[in-house]
Amino acid sequence: MQLQTPYYLIDKSKLLQNMEKIARLRELSGARALLALKCFATWSVFDLMREYMDGTTSSSLNEVRLGHERFGKETHAYSVAYADYEIDEVVSHADKIIFNTIGQLQRFEKQSSGIIRGLRLNPGVSSSSFDLADPARPFSRLGEWDMAKVEPVMDMISGFMIHNNCENGDFDLFDRMLTAIEEKFGPLLKKANWVSLGGGIHFTGDNYPLTKFAERLKRFSGEFGVQVYLEPGEASITRSTTLEVTVLDKLYNGKDLVVVDSSIEAHMLDLLIYRENAKVHPNQGPHRYMVCGKSCLAGDIFGEFDFPNELNVGDRISIQDTAGYTMVKKNWFNGVKMPAIAIRELDGSIRTVREFSYADYEQSLS
C-alpha cells in the first residue's frame, strides 16, 4: 500500500553516500565535521549520521538542545544573539559556545566560563550570489571584522568560526577566499586552538576535488596549529530526499498546469525566497506542465517540467533534492496538510516516522 502524499522520503542509501565522503574527508584532512542543524534536523536518521560525523552545530537554544539530546557527541552552540533568559540553558547543552560579537562575549563571560568559547569573524568576502544570504553584505551583523578589537579579548576565547561559503562547489574560489582569510586574520589564527570554517562548501558533489580540498584544509591546520571544523548542512544531505506529491487537478490557461497536494510556501519555502525552481528527474519527454501548489498564493509554483507521459489526476510526482532547508522551515500556511516524514531504510523498506494532524495545526496557534 502506497503512503498517503504529501510526504518527505529520506533515502538512507543516498544519505550514506554523502556520509562516506564526509568520513573520507575527515580521514584525509584531520578536520572534524559537524551537522548544521539549521539546514537539516530530522533526528530519525541521526543514528546513521553520527557514525560518520563528529557532532552538531546550532543557531539557537532549541537546536543546541536537539543536537545534545538527539545526536550527542560534540555540540557547538552559536547564535546571532543570546537572550539573558536562555544563556544558562544553552551552556548546559554545549561543549563549545561561539559568540557573534565581542559585546555578547563580554556580557555572558561569567555564564560561559565553564566551557570552551569562540568568536565569529567576518572576513568581508563570501561566495554567495544572493544578497539575502550573503554574510559579507554591507553593514552585516554577522561576526567581528576588526582585528584591533578582537586582540584584547583573546584571553577569553580559544577559537573562531568563519562562515563565508554559500553553496560553493568551486574549490578554486574556496582556496582564494581561505587565502584572503589567512592574510587578514593570520595573527589571530596563530593564537587560536581551533577554527570552524562553517558550511556551504559543496564537497560531496560530483567531481569535487576532495583530495585537493583535504590537502588545503590540512595545510591551513598545520600552518596555524589549529583543529579545523567544518559545518556541512546541504553537503550532508544533498540528493538524499524527495517530496512525494499527487496531482489533484489539471487545467489549461495558455500552458498546461497541474495542481498538486503540496505548496512551496508551506513545504519548500526556499524556492519562494530565492525565486528558484524545484527539481524533477529526468525532466525529459514531450509533455510539459507547470506544476503548481495548492495554496492560495498566486506564485505557488514548483516550476515547469517535461514528462514522458501525460499527467492525470491521481498521478504522483517526486520532487527531487528536498532535504535541506525544507523540513526545518515547513509551516502551516493556509492550513495545508503538513507532509509526513518517511525513511527508506538500507534494506529498501519504507517506514513512516512522523505524521501531522489537525491537532498539530490547532496547537501551533493560540
Task: Answer whether residue 338 shows pLDDT above 80.
Answer: yes
Rounded CA gap, 252 and 25, in Å? 50
> Which residues are CB-neighbours of 226 under 8 A, at least 6 positions away?
159, 189, 192, 193, 194, 195, 220
> Which residues are CB-neighbours of 44 under 8 A, at least 6 positions away?
10, 341, 343, 353, 354
> By percentage, how much of the chain surpasses pLDDT 90?
99
**Amino acid at position 61, single letter:** L
pLDDT digits 0-9 by tens, 273-298: 999 999 999 999 999 999 999 999 99
Task: Give how far the C-alpha of residue 322 lies from the chain's centroid of Cα atoms, to the nearest Å.
Answer: 11
- Cell numbers found for residue 26: 575527515
Task: Answer whether residue 1 shows pLDDT above 80.
Answer: no
- Cell numbers found for residue 193: 586552538
Mean pLDDT of the chain: 97
Q: How far is CA 31 from CA 24, 179, 227, 301, in A?
A: 10, 18, 7, 40
Burial (CB count within 10 angstroms: exposed 0-12, middle 13-18, buried 19+), residue 33: buried
> By percentage, how much of the chain surpasses pLDDT 70?
100
Task: Answer whether residue 184 shows pLDDT above 90.
Answer: yes
Asked if 15 contacts 345 with a C-beta cutoff of 8 angstroms, the reply is: no
Rounded CA gap, 359 and 366, in Å? 12
Rounded CA gap, 349 and 15, in Å? 15
Other Cβ atoms closer than 10 A to 140: 13
Asked if 291 contacts 307 with a C-beta cutoff of 8 angstroms, the reply is: no
pLDDT digits 0-9 by tens, 52-107: 999 999 999 999 999 999 999 999 999 999 999 999 999 999 999 999 999 999 99
Task: Answer whether residue 171 shows pLDDT above 80.
Answer: yes
* pLDDT (0 to 100) of residue 2: 86
pLDDT digits 0-9 by tens, 203-231: 999 999 999 999 999 999 999 999 999 99
Rounded CA gap, 345 and 77, in Å? 31
Name the β-bridge partners of 228. Answer: 195
Specify the DSSP class assigned to residue 71. Answer: I
Task: Answer whether residue 348 shows pLDDT above 90.
Answer: yes
Confidence (pTM): 0.96
Mean of pLDDT values over 118-133: 95
pLDDT digits 0-9 by tens, 250-275: 999 999 999 999 999 999 999 999 99
